[in-house]
Amino acid sequence: MTSCYGDISLRVVLVIFGGFLVHLALGAMYTIGNFSPYIVSYIRNRTDDTSIRNVDSLWIISIGSIGQCIGLSIGGLNAHRFGARIATLIGSVIFCTATAMNYFSVKSSFIVFVITYGLIRYLGHKATYGTPVQTAIKWLPNHATLAAGLVVSGTGGGSMIFNQIITEYVNPNNLSPDYIDDDDERYFTQEEVLDKVPSCFLILGGIYFGLQILGIVCLAEPPSISKQVQVKAKTADIDYETNDDTLDKEKHDLNKVGVSSNDQIDSIVINSAKQSENIDRNSEPQKQLGILEAVKVSLTSRSFYILWLTILLISCGMQFISGLYKAYGQTFIDDDHFLAVVGSVSAVFNCLGRPIWGAVMDKVGYRITMWIISGGFAITTGTLLFTEHFHKSLFLVWVCAIFFFFCGIWSMIPSALAKLLGPEHMAINYGMIYTGVSIAAILGSTLASTLKSEIGWHGLFFLSSGMGVIVFIVSFFFNGVDRSGKNI
């Protein structure tokens, strides 16, 4: 199969499709904004934790980010030791088992639920996350950002499906929250809604595992560099024999017409030698960095720290949207199914935006792309509050726009790391850089819990916007180059 991206084999398509399926299940993480009002309402009414609030659901993300950081490094080490399929399977089993375990933990207490849904489930999520991306990049190293974007688009699109499954199962009659507390936060108390919450986790766990098993079957490591060189060497031998036959024929033709030109014959020989030399040069494998060497290069690179700060700030600002958009929307929209649609449609933009921003970065580079993303994120989060005064469809449009700009970092940063340090250790370095997400989650949860009652929803959105502005400024100082010295 030939395209504008060169020769793309069926094997490459299957690998990317397999990675997409794995990430489609992982996209369930973005259902937290839609699912959390049901979960919080259940815990308030069915356990002893009667005082938790919607905003406290951000602690699920906060504690989960610690598991994510650990999981990425574990996934990278597993991929290095066991290969793509086994490494992905290990992460998948943890992720899906933890999902099903929430059937029991949600009935216990908020703290126990945070451990299973947050820490353990998020650990499995990120132990699964990096290897399919790394594998796709290995198959398409010249289009690393696009390859990463196609795979992680599954993560963006997963919530499009699972938001609808969750809402149709838990709240099929489109009931709105019927209890309003002193802070104007709303909660469900209807039995027909609350009764469905625990069993929903069992259904989701089974669906996730089925999707990921299908995806794992499609994954495969690319041929080793040594095998590629052997193939190219055989091709060179064939070409050289062909050149010898051509040389003899051309010599015969020259003698036949009475031409005895050593210059012409030498030219033929030189061209043949140049062909062989070019093949040998292209066949020479690029030196790979060892694990410790790659980590050392990361920690001494200014670009690495800029990527770390970028993922910290954008992730922190996005928490107030992805985790709380439904709780905020419920303050002026009395339509639970519509708010679920907001989550699903925004997931489409979260899905499509990833390969789009990946392709944009491949064309114009990191800095210009990040200026567009961070600038758009700052503008849309800072103006979300105006949607309260218009038709509810404008709220949908704004949330979709925020997700569209936000999602770009998830295709750009893995690709930038792969170009900066090589794809062979991308998952490990991504685990290091993901410490920024852990800090962002803790920071975001703390800010929301302590400041929400003081600054309100609008204040939280202005904080998000300010973080986008900082990323816009910091991106001016990014100076990363790939292993060949070309600007990223």
Q: CB-based burial of residue 274 (10 Å sphere; 0-12 exposed, 13-18 middle, 19+ buried)?
A: exposed
Q: CB-based burial of residue 28 (10 Å sphere; 0-12 exposed, 13-18 middle, 19+ buried)?
A: buried
Among the listed ranges 187-191, 219-223, 228-232, which one has the minimum average pLDDT value? 228-232
The yes-or-no verdict on residue 182 having pLDDT over 50 is: yes
The yes-or-no verdict on residue 118 having pLDDT over 70 is: yes
The yes-or-no verdict on residue 416 having pLDDT over 70 is: yes
d(C-alpha 32, C-alpha 144), whole Å? 29
Instruction: Determine the residue type at 256.
Output: K
Q: Average pLDDT of the chain? A: 83
Q: Mutual orientation of helices 435-474 and 302-322 as an angle, nearest 10°?
A: 100
- Cβ–Cβ contacts within 10 Å for residue 294, how many? 21
Residue 401 structure tokens: 């726009």
Look at residue 487 in the predicted model and tell me its pLDDT.
81
The yes-or-no verdict on residue 331 having pLDDT over 60 is: yes
d(C-alpha 118, C-alpha 458), whole Å? 27
Report residue 289's pLDDT band, with 50, 70 and 90 as the boundaries: low
The yes-or-no verdict on residue 478 having pLDDT over 80 is: yes
**pLDDT tens digits along 5-14:** 455 688 888 9
Return the higher-pLDDT residue of 335 and 419.
335
Look at residue 66 in the predicted model and tell me its pLDDT.
83
**pLDDT tens digits along 135-163:** 998 888 888 778 887 898 888 778 889 99
Tokens 């973080």 locate to: 467
Report residue 171's pLDDT band, with 50, 70 and 90 as the boundaries: very high
d(C-alpha 183, C-alpha 363), whole Å? 48
Q: Residue 184's closest CA among 463, 464, 457?
A: 457
Return the higher-pLDDT residue of 47 and 65.
47
Contacts of 461 (CB under 8 A, 6+ apart): 320, 321, 381, 382, 384, 385
The yes-or-no verdict on residue 239 having pLDDT over 80 is: no
Of the spans 39-48, 254-263, 411-420, which averages the highest pLDDT?
Answer: 39-48
Quick one: residue 285, left, alpha or beta (phi over 0 = left, psi -120 to 50 = alpha)?
Answer: beta
One DSSP character per residue, 262-278 reads HHHHHHHHHHHHHHHHH
d(C-alpha 320, C-alpha 324), whole Å? 6
Look at residue 198 in the predicted model and tell me its pLDDT.
97
d(C-alpha 354, C-alpha 386), whole Å? 27
H helical segments located in 302-408: 302-322, 325-329, 336-364, 366-382, 392-406
Look at residue 154 in the predicted model and tell me its pLDDT.
86
Look at residue 486 in the predicted model and tell me its pLDDT.
82
Cβ atoms 460, 452 nearer than 8 A: yes
Instruction: Determine the residue type at 368.
Output: I
**pLDDT tens digits along 436-466:** 888 888 898 888 888 888 898 999 999 999 9
